[in-house]
Amino acid sequence: MATHKRNLIKDHNGDLFNVSEVQAVKHVTGGVMIFGANNRPLHFIKVADVDMATLIRDEIILSVEAAAEGRKYVPNWASNTPTAL
């Protein structure tokens, strides 16, 4: 069994997920889908607004990139301004 470092973040709805397990983030109809290994669905964020869904996708991607480099990143759901720790 593979072990992943725990790097938990809250989505804009307040739900937690481990960003270290994320392999792909896709904008889909009705929201943002987050996938893990073997294209396994990890998390779905329901968002009706396309612009907000794009922002959420971009913030999660920044979180995944930071986790891959060993950094933590706190997503800013209000704007596209990075908040690196």
Residue among 14, 21, 31 at smallest CA distance from 67: 21
The pLDDT value recorded for residue 32 is 95
Burial of 35 (0-12, 13-18, 19+ CB in 10 A): middle
Instruction: Give the HSE-up count for residue 59: Cα atoms under 13 Å, Cβ half-sphere.
Output: 22
Q: 3-state class of 27 per DSSP?
A: strand
pTM value is 0.80
Phi, psi of 58 (to 5 degrees): -65, -40
Q: What is the pLDDT of residues 2-30, one digit of tens each?
A: 555 788 888 888 889 899 899 999 999 99
Percent of the chain predicted with pLDDT > 70: 87
Domain boundaries, the chain: 47-85
